[in-house]
Amino acid sequence: MLRDKRTNYQKSELLESSILGNPIEQLKQWLDHAIEENVPEPTAMVLSTIDSNGFPDSRVVLLKEINAEGLVFFTNYNSKKGKQISGNNHVSINIFWPTTERQIRIKGIVEKIPEADSEDYFKSRPIESQLGAWASPQSQIIEGREVLVENYKLYQKQFENQTISKPLHWGGFLISPVSFEFWQGRENRLHDRLEFILSDQQWIMHRLAP
């Protein structure tokens, strides 16, 4: 029975005395630990946007950079999430690492990163991924998988023996956080939850009841 499936978390704890004062640095620390622990897809995060009807819309994207301003991911600007962000640049992120019994929730404001930065990242991608960015009309209705295969072959031939340029409709987004919540699973469902709220350019921390 689903109601009988539960885990008693007991791997670690999260105390005010041990957490870093800057939540972006705390995110980096936890991510480094997840990578060290060989967590599957440690950079995967659930990105939630708001559609034109006011509904949350969620999907998994990959975190590609953390800097002093926030979190960076890349996508097709003409995709559903790209269009939703252009209409409402308020988003949320959820990261869950079951093997370390940790979860991070983030709310933030999104903006495109400079085109030059998107160009630099695109050049670092495998050729197959570069071609995929051209081949896929992301989020559009297509007649079948063969459309993608044929598009891929078309661009493979077009860019044969030459540098693959970045599509203008593809690039990075920066999420500038306004709140973080760090969740550490604990025994008896008495989980640790420490929340950071950005106020007047300062991070204010609170403990939340589980």
Active-site residue flag, 189: yes
The answer to whether 196 and 108 are in contact (CB under 8 A) is no
At residue 114, the 3 state secondary structure works out as coil
Task: Measure the CA–CA gap between 57 and 48, rounded to whole angstroms.
Answer: 5
Structure tokens of 27? 């995110």
Phi, psi of 173 (to 5 degrees): -120, 145
Phi, psi of 209 (to 5 degrees): -70, 145
Structure tokens of 200? 């007047």
Task: Measure the CA–CA gap between 67 and 71, rounded to whole angstroms.
Answer: 7
State the catalytic residue, choosing from 59, 105, 189, 207.
189
Structure tokens of 143? 């007649």
DSSP character at residue 100: G
Helix pair 145-158, 127-135: axis angle to 10 deg: 120
CA triple 73-201-195, angle to 5 deg: 70
Structure tokens of 190? 């008495």
Residues designated as active site:
189
